[in-house]
Amino acid sequence: MNGIDVAAALAAFRAALAEADSPEAIERVRRAHTGKKSPLKLALRNLRSVPPEDRRAVAQSINAAQSQVESELSAAAARVLAAAREARLEADWMDLTLPGASTPRGSRHPLTEVERQCLAVMRQLGFVPVEGPEVENPYFNFDALNIPEHHPARDLQDTFWVDNNLVLRTHTTSVQARELSKHPALPFKVVSMGRVYRNEAVDATHLAMFHQFEGIWVEKGLTFAHLKATLAFIVEALYGPGKLRFKPKYYPYTEPSVGVDLACASCDATGCSACSGGWVTILGAGMIHPKLLIQFGYDPDEVSGIAFGLGTTRMAAQSYGMSQLRPMYVPNLTLLHSLYRGQS
């Protein structure tokens, strides 16, 4: 065929294709054997050198070879692609019947858990949670709560002051003062919780920052009996059945004021390291002072209220059997996990 050897071109193509084991290699073979400078394309250009009587047969032979090349390239590409897919499936295979490797499950912080328990109890009594700022106006933190300037209670709290004559709140009672300033419709029952700050000498049972949970109830006809019954319900719901003791206390914003002690379940009458003389102080409470009611536009002859507060940091320490408060605020996952397992 005057130098045009179609069989040799096909043989060279098939030899190159046999060594192609990837899509990239097959593409290189395609360019080499179907491109403008491939042997078969050059053979078509050289048909003029073929005698006229043989030209038709040679052209048919070249076209047939080109069809074979295209067909074998497509088959090889499909084969290589299938092999690559099988290899990937084999590498990525996993037994779906085996148990999965789960991420360790987290847990709520002890303080968060105690706050949730308190909220659950208060919701049973119809109390609604409210929030307020931690950087507070002195009016709501002190003056509106019957703690005027130079009052001894301000000295006792030894407050942290910041710019613009603002103060880090010393109790969550400031939130209740803010709510009362809105003169809400009665009955009015809210609870507030969160961080409070005092310039305390840090020791095993005192910190400069801790958590509180406080509530107030304002309505016509409330008496000290309502206060005692409410406190008894809260203590029993949080701590379980036990003996309670009410003792006189002083708070500027309540009158009369009481402290509530719970009989220590860990000791006999001689006392132990967890209590004082067989009793554990749980919370402080009282009837809302008439001066506060007047301050916020209520007539103390018509309206009365009760207020109470719990130290949730101390509650959490007691609940989890911790003798110190500081570990509650240390980012120690090992400790927190051990506390969670101990309660679960």
Most distant pair of Cα atoms in the chain: their distance: 129
**Assessment of whether the complete model's pTM goes beyond 0.95:** no
Beta strands 188-197 and 128-130 are parallel
The span from the CA of 256 to the CA of 249, in Å, is 8
How crowded is the C-beta side of 187, counted as CA atoms within 13 Å?
A: 14
CA nearest to 251, candidates 176, 338, 162, 332:
176
Write down how long the chain is.
344
Exposed (0-12), middle (13-18) or buried (19+): which is 15, by Cβ within 10 Å?
A: exposed
pLDDT, position 188: 92
Alpha helices per DSSP H over the chain: 6-19, 23-34, 39-45, 52-92, 110-124, 138-141, 152-157, 173-181, 224-239, 290-295, 312-319, 333-343
Would you state the pLDDT for residue 146? Answer: 87
For residue 144, CA distances in Å to 107, 190, 293 come to 39, 17, 10
Q: What is the pLDDT of residue 344?
A: 46
Do 62 and 44 meet the contact criterion of CB atoms below 8 Å apart? yes
Task: Tell the burial category of 324 from Cβ atoms under 10 Å away from its Cβ (0-12, 13-18, 19+).
Answer: exposed
pLDDT value at position 2?
A: 46
Contacts 24+ apart (CB under 8 A), 199-202: 199/157, 199/158, 199/159, 199/160, 200/158, 202/326
Task: Write down the pLDDT at residue 1.
Answer: 42
Q: Which residues of the chain have pLDDT under 70?
A: 1-4, 155-157, 204-206, 265-277, 335-336, 338-344
Strands (E), 198-315: 209-219, 244-251, 254-263, 279-288, 304-310
